[in-house]
């Protein structure tokens, strides 16, 4: 069995920046399916989402973040939600890229996956996101539950 088969993670990395905008490389794998895209966002939007992740899931709510534009050149979203009372969290991740023309949306590469995480994984990810937004550089990794077995 391939040793990478069970790796489950989400990785955000700043690959370009200017005074107002960040370009993020987004990689995801749920252990079976994986994908990558690159999207633009502002440091402020990323920082505000990171602040909302602090202490999650203290209340039973969903958190949502998106960057890029859906059905455009590239898009990324992540939705955090509670799965059960045992503390498992689901993260639904959507990636899109490569629209060659506005008349052929079926040519777009799309991926929608779920990774399962434990609440303690959010703490490091949240801190890394805050630092990434403030410093406008770096990497943030959210490890899935399979990485802890």
Tell me if 17 is assigned to some domain.
yes
Tell me if 48 is assigned to some domain.
yes
pLDDT value of residue 123: 93
pLDDT value of residue 118: 87
What CATH number is associated with residue 133?
3.30.2450
- Enclosing domain of residue 55: 8-139
pLDDT value of residue 1: 40
Tell me if 3 is assigned to some domain.
no
Tell me if 54 is assigned to some domain.
yes
Tell me if 148 is assigned to some domain.
no
**How many folded domains does the chain comprise?**
1
pLDDT value of residue 4: 52
pLDDT value of residue 108: 76
Tell me if 144 is assigned to some domain.
no
pLDDT value of residue 6: 59
For residue 135, give Cα distances in angstroms to 20, 44, 55, 114, 122: 13, 11, 22, 29, 20
Tell me if 35 is assigned to some domain.
yes
145 CB neighbour count, 10 Å cutoff: 16
pTM of the model: 0.89
Positions of the chain with pLDDT under 50: 1-3, 148-149
Q: Which of 39, 9, 44, 4 is nearest to 24 (CA)?
A: 39
Tell me if 81 is assigned to some domain.
yes
Model confidence over 102-122: pLDDT tens digits? 666 666 789 999 999 988 899
- Residue 16 is encoded by which pair of tokens? 């370009």
Helix H or strand E segment including 93: strand 89-97
Alpha helices in the chain (DSSP H): 43-53, 119-135
């Amino acid at each position: 069995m391939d040793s990478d088969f069970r790796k489950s993670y989400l990785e955000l990395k700043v690959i370009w920046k200017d005074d107002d905008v960040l370009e993020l490389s987004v990689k995801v794998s749920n252990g079976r399916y994986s994908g990558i895209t690159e999207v633009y966002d502002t440091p402020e939007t990323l920082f505000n989402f990171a602040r909302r992740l602090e202490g999650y899931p203290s209340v039973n709510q969903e958190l949502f973040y998106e960057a890029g534009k859906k059905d455009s050149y590239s898009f990324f979203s992540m939705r955090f939600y509670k799965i059960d009372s045992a503390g498992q969290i689901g993260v639904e991740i959507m990636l899109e890229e490569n629209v060659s023309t506005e008349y052929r949306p079926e040519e777009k590469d799309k991926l929608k996956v779920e990774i399962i995480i434990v609440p303690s994984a959010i703490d490091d990810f949240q801190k890394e996101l805050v630092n990434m937004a403030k410093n406008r550089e770096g990497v943030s990794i959210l490890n899935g539950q399979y990485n802890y077995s």
